Structure 1
Amino acid sequence: MIVDMKKRRFSVYSYRTLVLCILFLAGVFFALPVVAEDSVVRVHSDIWMPYNGVPGSDEEGYAVDILREIFTPHDIRVEYADRSWNRSVLGLEQGGTDLVIGAFKFEVPNCIFPETTIGETVMGLYSTNPHLKINDYDGLRDLKIGIVSGWGYRKWLLEDAEKHPENYIRLYGDEAFPKLMELLLAHRVQLIPGSSMVMNYQIKRNGLQDKVFFVGYGPSPKSEKLYYAFSPLHPERSRRLAKIVDDGMKRLRESGRLAAILAKYGLSDWE
């Protein structure tokens, strides 16, 4: 039998080319960023009660409870995990996190936000000394102030921390805020700034009404709205999820279910 070597050579080369093309396309496919399926929403934030608490506990926080109420009817599972704020925001930008809880728009301006807020808060100043009254920069001098690195404090406070770093103690990581409270109670810091909602909740929950006191707003008592912030990596998906949140929040508010969720934490509707 006579074999046409040209045809054989062509067949071998064609086969090799086909294999290489398949391998190349497979490499490209697996190199592409993975878009999470709509069946799961990955929620990451540091513990910030009453907005979000310990994952899997009886009180995960009202912002987590709301998400579960909204997404469950759409067969979307909420995967909530406790991570430091810096890690959570990094996950929004690089992948691995679909949304964070309790963001100010100025903190993550590239993210996608629902129209619906999850509350409104003002940054207060808290101390174990009830006689302190701080309404301007002068009141901050000669005090040791504790802050959490990466948190979205008011601009005036962050600028003061840059100008007077010797007056500030910065804590990092998942347990930074509870450690700040411990430092305050141990008088190792004299002042901590924080969301009025969060601080008042912690003070009441831990029976600290006679130990930790609100001592002023500093130079600016302006309140800020809080949001769920969705990842900018996949904007179409994030906009779709944000729309579900808007529609769901309206449904919860009209049905009275939102009021029931908030009542669990001793709160009422912010609108």
Structure 2
Amino acid sequence: MLYAAPETLIIAGDIWCPVNCAPDAQQPGIFVELAQRIFAEHGIKVDYRVTNWARAIHDTRQGRINAVIGAGVRDAPDFIFTKAAPGISRICFYTKPAKSWRYEGLGSLDRVTVGAINGYSYGAELNTYFEHYRSDQTRVQMASGDNALAVNIDKLGKDRVDTVIENSWVMQAYLAAHGKTDALQQVGCRKVDVPIYLAFSPALKTSQVYAEIFQQGLERYKASGELDAIYSRYAVSSPKNRGDNHAPQQ
């Protein structure tokens, strides 16, 4: 007797934990887990692949991949997006708990040395600032490589930089994983949050159906509290919880 192979949805992105983590990790990432669970309810298997960001966008646009993980609307405006975003990219500054400095716009950076990561985008305004001062070690210090965040946190601990800039989910998950939840304090964030999505290929006729399935799943998980439970398991806060009350924008 012949059996039909299960329907498979291919999703991909470069590792951006906790959004999407290593495929063999005990926790594959918030977006990966959501996709696996929601589509499994419809008998659809999720094949999660790791590739570099440019390749993930290109292959999804060409229809070789069903969806790219963690895209904002500006990353791929021609893709198919769900009504709700399962996450946000929130860029924040961190210091040691005893420090009184707070980020209040570019002018407040005049008084500090910032630890940032080479090649990362922090939005047009901050990118311009970091590029302008990248040769001035008293203003900006760029870390590179797979351990760049750890390097910046170590510099902060040794007072080689005054503050570190990082995605809030990435920082929360890193500190929790290393038992350092209270080691740093968040001292202000970029005012505009960027919603991030599981963004579906514009080249595939099935994309609209998949997007609707994912949207319906997100709505169910939000209503049941399961969405917040998933965020909690990854040691991150729900996207709606923000102290300065700036709503996510795109």
After TM superposition, give the deviation of residue 146 of structure 1 in Å. Answer: 2.2
Residue equivalent to 2:55? 87
Q: Which of the residues 183, 187, 193 maps onto 1:215?
A: 187
Among 113, 134, 139, which residue is 1:143 paired with? Answer: 113
* SS, match of residue 59 in structure 2: helix
Shift of 1:96: 3.5
Residue number among 201, 210, 227 corresponding to 2:173 in the alignment: 201
Identity, % of aligned positions:
25
109, 112, 132: which is aligned to 1:163? 132
> In terms of mean alpha carbon deviation, does 106-115 or 77-86 score higher?
77-86
- For structure 1, which segment, 255-264 or 65-74, has the greater mean C-alpha deviation from structure 2 after superposition? 255-264
Residue from 58, 72, 94 that aligns with 1:126: 94
Measured in 2, the distance between the counterparts of 1:208 and 1:148 equals: 24
Give the CA deviation at 1:128. Answer: 5.2
1:95-142 per-residue CA deviation (whole Å, 9 max, x = no partner) reads 543222222212222221011210235210234585343323244357
The structure richer in helix per residue is: 1
Q: 2:152 — aligned with what?
A: 184
Tell me which structure has the larger Cα radius of gyration: 1
Structure 1 unaligned regions, length at least 5: 1-36
Q: Are 1:64 and 2:32 counterparts?
A: yes
- Provide, for residues 26-62 of structure 1, a one-character-per-residue CA deviation record: whole Å limited to 9, x for no partner: xxxxxxxxxxx99222111233333222213321122
Question: For 1:232-271, what per-residue CA distance to the aligned partner results, in whole angstroms no more than 9, with x for missing partners?
Answer: 233x322221111112222333455435434433457556
Out of 213, 222, 237, the position equivalent to 1:244 is 213
Counterpart in the other structure of 1:43: 11
Give the TM-score normalised by structure 2.
0.74
Q: Residues of 2 paired with 1:87 and 1:192: CA distance?
A: 29
Counterparts of 2:164 and 2:60, CA distance in 1: 28
Query: Structure 1 residues 207 and 215 mapped into 2: Cα distance closer, same or farther (>3 Å)?
Result: same
8 A contact 1:117–1:225 mirrored in 2: yes
Post-superposition offset of 1:181: 1.4
8 Å CA contact 2:21–2:28 kept in 1: the answer is yes
Of the candidates 106, 112, 116, which is equivalent to residue 74 of structure 2?
106
Q: What is the letter of the counterpart of residue 56 of structure 2?
A: S
What does residue 42 of structure 2 align with? 74
SS for the counterpart of 2:90 is strand
Partner of 2:201: 231
In structure 2, how many angstroms separate the alpha carbons of the residues matched to 1:168 and 1:232? 39
Q: 1:264 aligns with which of 227, 230, 233?
A: 233
CA distance in 1, matches of 2:180, 2:11: 30
Aligned residue identity for 2:123: R
Shift of the 137–251 alpha-carbon distance from structure 1 to 2, 3 Å rule, reads: closer
Q: Contact (CA 8 Å) 1:122, 1:224: kept in 2 or not?
A: yes
Structure 2 distance, partners of 1:267, 1:200, is 6
Contact kept, 8 Å, 2:80 with 2:207, in 1: the verdict is yes
Partner of 2:245: none
CA contact (8 A) 1:180 1:192 kept: no
The 8 Å contact of residues 93 and 233 in structure 1, kept in 2 or not, is answered as yes
| Unpaired stretches in structure 2, ≥5 consecutive residues | 241-250
